[in-house]
A and B are shown apart, each in its own frame.
Chain A
Amino acid sequence: MATQYDVIVIGTGAGGGMAIRTLCAAGLKVCALNAGRKLDPPKDFQYHRMPWDMPFRGFGSAQQQAQSIGYMDNEYVPNVWEHDLAYSVAPGTSWTWPRCFAVGGKTNFWGRSSARFAEIDFKAASRDGLDVDWPVSYDDIAPYYSRVEQMIGVASTVQNRPSNPDGEYLPPIRFRCRDYILQAAAARAGIPYLPDRFAQLTVPYQGHPACHYCGNCTNGCDVGAFFSSPYFFLPDAEASGKLELRTNTLVREILVDRDGMARGAAYVDRVSRREVEVYGRAVVVAASCIESAHIMLNSKSRQWPTGIANSSGQLGRNLCDQLYGTTASGYLPQLLGTPSFPDNVSGASVAWLPRWQNLKTPAEEPFFRGYSMYPDGGCEEFPSYFDDIEGYGTSYREEIKRRYPTPLSFYVQAPSQRSDRNFVDIDPEKKDVYSIPEVRFHFEWDQNTLKMWEHAKQSSQEIFRQAGAVYQGHGEPQPPGTSLHETGTCRMGNDPRHFVTNRFGQTHDVPNLYVCDASVFLNCTDKTTTLSILAFSLRTSETIVENFRSGGHRSDDPATI
């Protein structure tokens, strides 16, 4: 007889990793399915790989560039981003969908900004009347945020901002020259410029070494000095003897029993091409916001003709994303000719400009809610501003050197609003190489988000003016999908008629099916999603453990209407 696991967990990233860790620690027998291979960080992350170690110097060959989806899909870390599985995009939609198939998913390479959501985010609808409130309050989630911060280590400072609840922090990364200049300039423009909440270890922490500030982060950390599921969660789970991790397994659908309850998953073994079934008493979907919806929509049965747990019709709907784009770029003339400085030590921004709009009242600005921004620039490895300088010869080289410490830009992180027009469904015709029907994106930026984009450009230019910076222009909104912060395809809510899961991430229709990723979020905020995925997944995972202990997966959540 086939092995019966307690829980099948689909996905090993932030949400899945947290579920695996929590369930195994509670003694439950877990089978984890991951679409790609396991990385060997010291080998795959090419310890401090230099551009001249690669034939195309890190730019990637023309073929690699054409294939690449997302900025992290590059010559430094090849063969971890999905290129074999097609997805479908409706006419008029320009969604790009970077998928890291390696064990640990995008936590291997993530940007590490880790701010908590606030009451102003969870109860935004009550303030401005748009959409609906989350079915949780900040006080419900705050203890989980604290525990996650203790697990992963987040560096920051206490900032006392209502939109940015303070957490439990390691010492912050120090400000660089540019940060002091920009902080003073932003203050004159009435804009906060503060240390980011940054999941990077500034001190040795819980057996993990402190960061050595090499700046290689987004190509993967070979010593595990920032949180990733393979470094922080999976080793303990594997040591517990409770985990079976199956790699290169592409889930086709969730299997159901006669009553429509989940009984396991069917997957394709991508190495042998065999079709395999695996059985469990409960199933956790944590394959990413889009892929979780894709799998559930493809899990059609007599009981669930439009996809498992979709009696509300809301599965795949309510897709939200954050608009990313460079709002201003140029340089800081006061740093011309100064010695090169390790600005890029964290491989990302050490500072951010957290939401300052619509805080006192919901209608201070010509748009609803708010956005945040991040600074970028400094001594980055390659002098990408070379084309702004005229000439050639020694004077050209000298100018490249003089400009090296000065580049400055800002980019915006602006949440879209829920809309009936933004969703994913299953393409009625297209199938991928394993004959799995493809997910299809329908998405366009709403007017509110575009107003934020305009506002952010003005704000950035004002900081440039105040800093005496030379403004050279702005970029355009990046295609949706760029931020990797999409939310909302399995939203949580108390009313089973309108929401896919309850407030604990348990699907209303199928009590032994749980969702542990950003698809349960009601919407995007001005903050990144990983810390919140971890907090909500911890909460859901403990609900699962509790339900196993009390003898079953009850759907009678007292909050359910």
Chain B
Amino acid sequence: MSLAVLASAAPGFSRWCCAFGDTREGAEQEGAEGRPARYAPQFFSLSEYRTVEVLTELILPSMEGSGAKEAGVAEFIDFWVKNDPPLQEQFRRGLEWLDRAGGNGRPFIELSPAEQQKILDRLAYRRYQRPEEKTGQLFFRLMRQYTVMGFYTTEIGLKSLDYPGLKFYPTSPGCPHPDNPEHVGL
């Protein structure tokens, strides 16, 4: 298999290559390259997938036009979970838990941004954590892990860290602070 074929099969690829238009409609429409303009999830149901999208975007929001959304992280997670059966139940149960966490019968994606943030704060920060919400806390950690894995392995993700490797250097790059060996006050 050539690299190009491999890459086009890779999750997230449709996001980087194809114009990404209306997010609510057009799941069946063909994009300019003959690919569906709207990604059709392979593992998650459509409503689960939308929640996954929202979560990845809350965990790693766009900064200067680069974040989980632009990197297609939700596609990556869908692909990964489809290929990792032991994880499937954990994701599914976690998403169910999250939809009940608002306590008012409304699923997570229908909550206001402030309500969503309140729930995530309860899961993410030790000072807000509740002992009876272990399931939710573990799910958040899992979700964050796969979001980080999906983002910081893309070109824009590594660019956001100024990843300096896999480049050509004519000589070994040495410390630029020879006068400050202890590196204090940088």
CB within 8 Å of B: which residues of A? 46, 48-59, 61-62, 173-177, 179-181, 183-184, 202, 211-216, 334-335, 338-346, 350, 379, 381-383, 386-387, 390-394, 396-397, 400-401, 404
Contact = CB atoms under 8 A, between A and B. Distances in A.
Contacts of B162: 339-340, 404
16 contacts: A53-B6, A174-B175, A177-B175, A179-B175, A184-B181, A213-B168, A213-B173, A214-B166, A214-B168, A340-B164, A341-B173, A345-B173, A382-B153, A386-B152, A391-B125, A393-B59
A262 B126 CA distance: 69
A383 B148 contact: yes
Contacts of B152: 382-383, 386, 400
What is the interface of chain B mostly: helix, strand, loop, or mixed?
loop
B61 interface: yes
> Do most interface residues of chain A lie in helix, strand or loop, or is the interface mixed?
loop
Nearest to A203: B171
A386 B166 CA distance: 22
Given A51-B154, A184-B181, 15 more contacts: A50-B166, A52-B7, A58-B153, A62-B83, A62-B84, A62-B87, A173-B172, A179-B175, A213-B169, A213-B172, A214-B166, A381-B158, A383-B161, A393-B61, A404-B162
Contact of A401 (B67, B144, B160): B160
A379 B177 CA distance: 17
Contacts of A62: 83-87
Given A52-B153, A177-B177, A212 B168 contact: yes
Contact of B173 (A174, A394, A401): A174
B110 interface: no
Interface residues of B, number: 59
Interface string B138-152: 000100110011101
In this complex, the member of B141, B166, B172 whose beta carbon has the largest number of chain A beta carbons within 10 angstroms is B172
A396 B10 contact: no
Given A48-B166, A53-B6, A174-B172, A404 B60 contact: no
Contacts of B86: 62
A55 B61 contact: no
B114 to A, nearest CB: 13
Contacts, number: 166
Given A345-B165, A381-B165, A387-B145, A177 B183 contact: yes
A14 B96 CA distance: 55
Given A341-B164, A379-B165, A393-B59, A335 B183 contact: yes
Contacts of A180: 175, 177, 181-183
A137 to B, nearest CB: 35
Given A52-B155, A379-B163, A386-B148, A334 B186 contact: yes
Contact of B153 (A57, A177, A335, A394): A57
> Shortest 8 CB-CB distances between A and B: which pairs?
A174-B174, A51-B153, A57-B153, A340-B162, A342-B164, A213-B169, A215-B165, A180-B181
A397 B63 contact: yes
Contacts of B9: 55
A347 B184 CA distance: 27
Contacts of B172: 173-174, 202, 211, 213, 345-346, 350
A397 B165 contact: no
B183 A342 contact: no
Nearest to A181: B183
Given A53-B7, A55-B6, A62-B86, A394 B145 contact: no
A392 B182 contact: no
B98 to A, nearest CB: 14
Given A342-B164, A342-B165, A397-B63, A386 B145 contact: yes
Contacts of B3: 46, 49, 53
Nearest to B147: A392
Nearest to A341: B164
B148 A175 contact: no
A393 B58 contact: yes
A143 B72 CA distance: 58
A405 B105 CA distance: 45
Identify the interface centre among B83, B150, B174: most chain A CB within 10 Å of its CB: B174
A392 B172 CA distance: 36
Contacts of A52: 7, 10, 12, 153-155
Contacts of A400: 148, 152, 161
B108 to A, nearest CB: 14
A404 B87 CA distance: 28
A61 B83 contact: yes
B11 interface: yes
Given A53-B10, A54-B10, A179-B175, A397 B60 contact: yes
Contact of A396 (B60, B76, B141, B145): B60
B91 interface: no
B148 A344 contact: no
B124 A391 contact: yes
Nearest to A55: B10
A215 B161 contact: no
B43 interface: no
Nearest to B170: A212
